[in-house]
Structure 1
Amino acid sequence: MNQLTKIITIGFLILLLSTPAGCSNRDIEPFDSIPEDLISALHSAQYGNTCVNISNYGYAAESDGWIYFVNTDYKLYKMRSDGSHIIKLSDDKVQSINAANGYVYYTKRSGILHPVYRMRTDGTGKEKTSISNRSGRFLVVGDWILYQDGESFYAAKIDGTQKGKLIAKISSNWIVDGEYLYNCSVTDGNLYRISLLTGEKTMISSDVYATDMIISEGYLYFLKHMDYGDDTKLYRIPVGGGDVEEVISSGTSIYYFQISGNTIYYSTSGSIVKINISDSNWELVTKTGRDIADLNMAGDWFFYNYRYYDNELAEYLHYILRVRKDGTGDTLYDLPMFSGKTK
């Protein structure tokens, strides 16, 4: 997916999220006071997945030596961190995987509303939670689930006993870090930091029109579109606001990125490249020649969506693929459980 397509997709999401639906989330009131265990959970910052994975459909998550992921049919599997012992967990069509507290959580791709399910990590005890939303995105933190529905942002206890509205209005592009939510407005491109505890909103940069965002070592890294075309650059800004600086000035357009320690991984022109933040030394991870979209990172693996146009069928098809961070293992899935080409 190129960056112009991504902007159009975000705009469509806003239209979709603002469309009335048979959902009780609109009736949820703000908390009279933020529950203490929610405050503790936010401060712990122990999430079921990373926000950048979730913004890229949450194809994979890592927990306790296992990686939970979807195949090309969006069915749920798990494997050891070394890539062995692949086991199917569910035939549901899955996105927004979270793994925490001995459970795997996901939204089921079904109609307009996407219900959140959970099951034990061995695949037993599947149950539907009381949470549904239209975006399909959510984040587990402690015993709580954070999610957006419409233009509002909510927190709900996993057992369904408590729900509350945290923020009345945000756009669809957000990440959470501790007690703060970072949100980029698609109307004016401004980047905001909003307290989930008080609702206090601070603009930290203007006119950035960021899509993917990651917080690392006191900086917020984000992709910025240049003149609404395919040309996209990676920038960073201190989380509390300050000067915006370009991180990679190679002239390369960056489509998706991930950060691990002091290393940035990014996709560009059919390749995944890694670069050291400190000295800007770069190294090619893999050159696939494929359109690498929706880049997820879990453990030592990347998962991504390879979309292509089939001339014979006259339609777009896709594979969910994986590759290790060192560039090995980059092959089309050839295991029986992966059906290959699917819409």
Structure 2
Amino acid sequence: MKNKEIEDNKNKEKVKNKKKFYILILALVFIISLIGWWLFPTQETKPPQTQTEDEESLMGTLPLPFPFPTGEPLPNNHPIQPEHNLDVFESSNIIYDGSDTYFRNELDDWKLYVLHNGEQEPEKVMDEAVYYMTKVEEKILYTQSNELGIFMIDTDGSNKEQITGDSTHQFIVQDSWVYYVDASDRNRLTKVKLDGTDKVVLSDDEIHSFLIQENCIYYVNRSNELNLYKMKTDGSSRLLVSKDSVTNLKILDDWIYYLFENNIYKINKDGLELDIVSNEYIQFFQISQDWIYYRTEGIGGNLWRMKLDGTNKEQISISGYDLDFIEIWDDWVFYYSAFLNKELYHLDGETKKISEKDISNLFVHNNLLFYLDNNDFNKLYQMDLNGENINKIVDSTVTEYEIYDNKIYYRNALDENKLYETELLGENNVRVIDQRLLQYEMYNDQLYFIEDSDQQRLFQYDMETKQLTKITDEQVYQFYILNEKIFYTSQEGSNIVNLDGTDLLKLTSDIENPKILGDWIYYVGYGEHENLYRIKQDGSEQTKLTTINTNNYMILNDWIYYIEDWKLHKIKLDGSEKVKISDKSVNLLLSIENDWIYASSSLNASPISVYTTVFKVKTNGKSYEELINGYIEDLEITDKGILFTENQESYRTFKVNIDGSNESVLFTPTP
């Protein structure tokens, strides 16, 4: 298809969309008028309810022991020959080098693990949380959660080196260079040698995403309406490839594939040949071998695949519910739909539904599915990923469970909710400790818990030696472990202590929502007003950064995002450069995704009803969009979508896309 024909089709499609839009507006006005006759503000409402663990496990993203790959080509283990080899090593959440698999283990706070070829049990590579990574020869490059920069280690976890201290969310290795988006410097594309020398800024454009093929960089330019550009790897020969607003960028052979206005297009690398692959309304797509896997529009958006030229379309999923994600893993496509059975689809055309049971608390570990059977008194079961070989693991009612170090730890409702452990296949089902626990956490092969007694002291229990050690003499209300430190609250206030109970640090104010970044602890303290503080981990240099309305704040790159005077603000990590982002009223900061801040504001529409608006605003404050308006009780936001419960008669639970589109009912409670 010629470029002019493509543009004509785009214009026709826009006219159709406008007509649909006007018709939709008229229909909505009519519907709203009818609704006004029966809506009444004195409707009795139920008290706010928090989500149960079962609901969270059903509504949230499937909790995997490691994330499935992102669909981008995974790096192969080719040796690098500087200045000659053009192999590309792109950062992702998982690495498969043809033999071993390196992954972020969600079961151990996203620390780096490796599963060697032919082995069943993974081993820990290092004791740090990892975000993005890639493997180059016998080195692993990665970014981590508690320290800015790109780091490099040997594959056994030794010899850690820092390549750069710049913050980044994407990096690619080619030749002896690391290319990355420098979030510390206006998202400019930068490169640096593997040894940390010769840092070069390649472009002043603000980069959304980029890919490298051969000696060219293809990037989406956030500074110019998400147009697609290319340039040489030295920053020269900058060229506009497409004026479309590009998302979901993929490159395969001589073609660039992307989404524009939710249609899939392909364009050659010089921008002279443009063709439309599919004019369906597509939410997102992945490419594997000769197939494009994609999700269609609307409620019941299903999973399809088609050839690279748009032919041979085949429907994979007929779930009738919105798919939360698509991931490609060897010969399998894994897709998940909230409040629906989990399904695996094999590329040879065979679809297998895993389970028809009413299940909850689904967990994947070592290629096995663990779940609670709601029709069998919440007993714990296990089965293969294809739904076969179902085994009952625990024959008691289980209130909660977790898998740690290849053992299952669970609370037994038939024994005063005491903590038990069992092997993955259900052998050696024994009580861990005789004490009843108010709260517990497994960390570094140790069990930390608050005793269920009047004293409520904090203890450490060694799982191997069975030795019990008292951490505190004072009454502890709650605790959590973060970066080798225990944070706990007591009658005297907030405290920080080492895992063995040494080096107790008592803060002058109560501590809420602490976050550790490098040598600093950031937290909200309470005095005459709520204030945001930071303090060195040794207790020195306590500094008030700013006043804050709630303990609700987020840190991204070099900025802290928070609420002050019920308006969105941001401030540098050291308390400098305070900026008001928006004059819109805000009660709750929800999430930050792709340079958008998601937040909500509420007002009392009546003494018993709260009217809530969920909106998003750019981190620079330049764009604002309302996503949801209504009487909302529970609200949760993820990168997959927004979940909320209406504060009305039915208390239905809804899901809406992250951009506010495609609202659908997920769950209606049984009367």
1:128 correspondence with 2:157: no
Is the deviation greater in 72-81 or in 329-338? Answer: 329-338
Q: 1:68 to 1:283 in 2, by over 3 A?
A: farther
1:248 correspondence with 2:289: no
Aligned-residue offset at 1:272: 4.4
Q: 1:278 to 1:210 in 2, by over 3 A?
A: closer
1:233-312 superposed matches below 5 A: 233-249=263-279, 251-255=280-284, 257-268=285-296, 272-278=303-309, 280-285=311-316, 291-293=323-325, 297=328, 299-300=330-331
Normalised TM-score (structure 2): 0.35
Aligned-residue offset at 1:302: 6.3
Aligned-residue offset at 1:220: 0.4
Question: SS at the partner of 2:128?
Answer: coil
Q: What amino acid is the match of 1:40?
A: H
**Does the 8 A contact of 1:273 with 1:284 survive in 2?**
yes
C-alpha distance in 2 between matches for 1:104 and 1:159: 13
1:7-26 superposed matches below 5 A: none
Q: What is the number of equivalent residue pairs in this alignment?
A: 269
**Does the 8 A contact of 2:288 with 2:328 survive in 1?**
no
Normalised TM-score (structure 1): 0.65
**Does the 8 A contact of 1:61 with 1:98 survive in 2?**
yes
User: For residues 180-219 of structure 1, what are the alpha-carbon distances to aligned partners after superposition, in whole Å with 9 as ceiling and x for unaligned?
Assistant: 111222333322111223511111211x211221111211
Aligned-residue offset at 1:222: 0.8
**Does the 8 A contact of 1:68 with 1:77 survive in 2?**
yes
Q: 1:302 to 1:141 in 2, by over 3 A?
A: farther
1:40 correspondence with 2:84: yes
C-alpha distance in 2 between matches for 1:181 and 1:38: 18
Aligned match of 1:22: none
**Does the 8 A contact of 2:208 with 2:226 survive in 1?**
no
Aligned-residue offset at 1:101: 0.8
C-alpha distance in 2 between matches for 1:329 and 1:144: 45
**Does the 8 A contact of 1:190 with 1:203 survive in 2?**
yes
Q: What amino acid is the match of 1:168?
A: D
1:94 correspondence with 2:124: no
**Does the 8 A contact of 1:63 with 1:100 survive in 2?**
no
RMSD: 3.7
Q: What amino acid is the match of 2:158?
A: G
C-alpha distance in 2 between matches for 1:244 and 1:337: 51
Question: SS at the partner of 2:264?
Answer: strand
Q: What amino acid is the match of 1:282?
A: K
C-alpha distance in 2 between matches for 1:272 and 1:79: 30
Q: 1:197 to 1:298 in 2, by over 3 A?
A: farther
Question: SS at the partner of 1:167?
Answer: coil
Aligned counterpart for 2:100 among listed residues 59, 66, 89: 66
C-alpha distance in 2 between matches for 1:178 and 1:274: 28
**Does the 8 A contact of 1:275 with 1:282 survive in 2?**
yes
1:1-343 superposed matches below 5 A: 39-41=83-85, 44=86, 46-49=87-90, 54=91, 58-72=92-106, 73-79=109-115, 84-110=120-146, 114-121=148-155, 123-149=156-182, 150=185, 151-186=187-222, 187-197=224-234, 199-206=236-243, 208-224=244-260, 226=261, 232-249=262-279, 251-255=280-284, 257-268=285-296, 272-278=303-309, 280-285=311-316, 291-293=323-325, 297=328, 299-300=330-331, 326=347, 332-334=363-365, 336-337=403-404
Gaps of 5+ in 1: 1-36, 227-231, 310-320
C-alpha distance in 2 between matches for 1:272 and 1:279: 15
C-alpha distance in 1 between matches for 2:192 and 2:93: 23
Question: SS at the partner of 2:84?
Answer: helix
Q: 1:191 to 1:243 in 2, by over 3 A?
A: same
User: For residues 282-322 of structure 1, what are the alpha-carbon distances to aligned partners after superposition, in whole Å with 9 as ceiling and x for unaligned?
Assistant: 345567756534x6656556689x7989xxxxxxxxxxx99
Q: 1:271 to 1:239 in 2, by over 3 A?
A: same
Q: 1:180 to 1:307 in 2, by over 3 A?
A: farther
Aligned match of 2:418: none
**Does the 8 A contact of 2:304 with 2:317 survive in 1?**
yes
Q: What amino acid is the match of 1:263?
A: W
**Does the 8 A contact of 1:62 with 1:298 survive in 2?**
no
Aligned match of 1:21: none
Q: 1:139 to 1:205 in 2, by over 3 A?
A: same
User: For residues 130-167 of structure 1, what are the alpha-carbon distances to aligned partners after superposition, in whole Å with 9 as ceiling and x for unaligned?
Assistant: 31332332112233211121242222121224322233
Question: SS at the partner of 1:114?
Answer: coil
**Does the 8 A contact of 1:107 with 1:137 survive in 2?**
no
Q: What amino acid is the match of 2:199?
A: K
C-alpha distance in 1 between matches for 2:118 and 2:266: 32
**Does the 8 A contact of 1:270 with 1:292 survive in 2?**
no
Q: Which has the higher contact order (CA 8 A, sep 6+)?
A: 1
C-alpha distance in 1 between matches for 2:210 and 2:344: 27
Q: What amino acid is the match of 1:280?
A: T
User: For residues 6-44 of structure 1, what are the alpha-carbon distances to aligned partners after superposition, in whole Å with 9 as ceiling and x for unaligned?
Assistant: xxxxxxxxxxxxxxxxxxxxxxxxxxxxxxx76434xx1
Gaps of 5+ in 2: 1-80, 355-361, 367-402, 409-637, 639-671
C-alpha distance in 1 between matches for 2:228 and 2:259: 12
Q: 1:124 to 1:80 in 2, by over 3 A?
A: closer
Question: SS at the partner of 1:136?
Answer: coil
